[in-house]
Amino acid sequence: MKADPVAVRDAAEALPGVPRDNEGPVFREPWEAQAFSLALVLHQRGLYTWREWAAALAEEIRRAQLAGDPDTGETYYLHWLATLERQVASKGVASLETQARYRKAWHCAARRTPHGKPVELSLGDFPENDDL
């Protein structure tokens, strides 16, 4: 699904730190665009305002800098992703623990998936003691 260009422009304007060129946001890797799109959709669905998002992202970047992140711009979307995870948890959508469970299951599924094939989660990708 292609993102609404007006929504993308509005997000880029509301968040001045977003790497961009004359045409809008730019991404070095596909996952960065996916994280941007996910944040956009969650905003459109009312999970947070852009002001709230910007404050949370600034706090995440500040926390990373205190931990030694050199803030060269190369880690911007890692902070974006961490902010997404914290926002989803703080809003009660999925706890950090639930997100970690699914991340581990995803890595398990990805390891068993042949290159070029879609990754599909199955119950076997979750630890045996976990209840879904």
More confident residue, 131 or 51: 51
pLDDT at 129 over 60: no
Q: How far apart are CA 77 and CA 84, in angstroms?
A: 10
Q: How far apart are CA 90 and CA 99, in angstroms?
A: 12
- For residues 76 and 12, state if they share a domain: yes
To the nearest 10°, the Cα dihedral for 28, 86, 41, 49? -110
| Residue 2 confidence (pLDDT) | 63
- For residues 86 and 34, state if they share a domain: yes
Mean pLDDT of the chain: 89
- For residues 82 and 100, state if they share a domain: no
Provide the percentage of residues in the chain whose pLDDT is more than 90: 71
Q: Can you tell me the mean pLDDT for 108-117?
A: 94
Q: Can you tell me the mean pLDDT for 90-114?
A: 95
| Residue 92 confidence (pLDDT) | 96
- For residues 57 and 86, state if they share a domain: yes
| Residue 1 confidence (pLDDT) | 52
Structural domain count of the chain = 2
More confident residue, 66 or 22: 66
- For residues 78 and 116, state if they share a domain: no
Query: How many C-beta atoms surround the C-beta of residue 117 within 10 A?
Result: 7
Model-level pTM greater than 0.85?
no
Who contacts 38 (Cβ-Cβ below 8 Å, separation ≥6)? Answer: 84
Who contacts 44 (Cβ-Cβ below 8 Å, separation ≥6)? Answer: 7
Domain that holds residue 113: 95-132
- For residues 54 and 108, state if they share a domain: no
Q: Can you tell me the mean pLDDT for 5-15?
A: 76
Q: How far apart are CA 80 and CA 63, in angstroms?
A: 13
39-88 pLDDT, tens digit each: 999 999 999 999 999 999 999 999 999 999 988 888 999 999 999 999 99
- For residues 101 and 77, state if they share a domain: no
- For residues 13 and 74, state if they share a domain: yes
**Contact criterion met (CB below 8 Å) for 15 and 48:** no
- For residues 22 and 49, state if they share a domain: yes
- For residues 32 and 12, state if they share a domain: yes
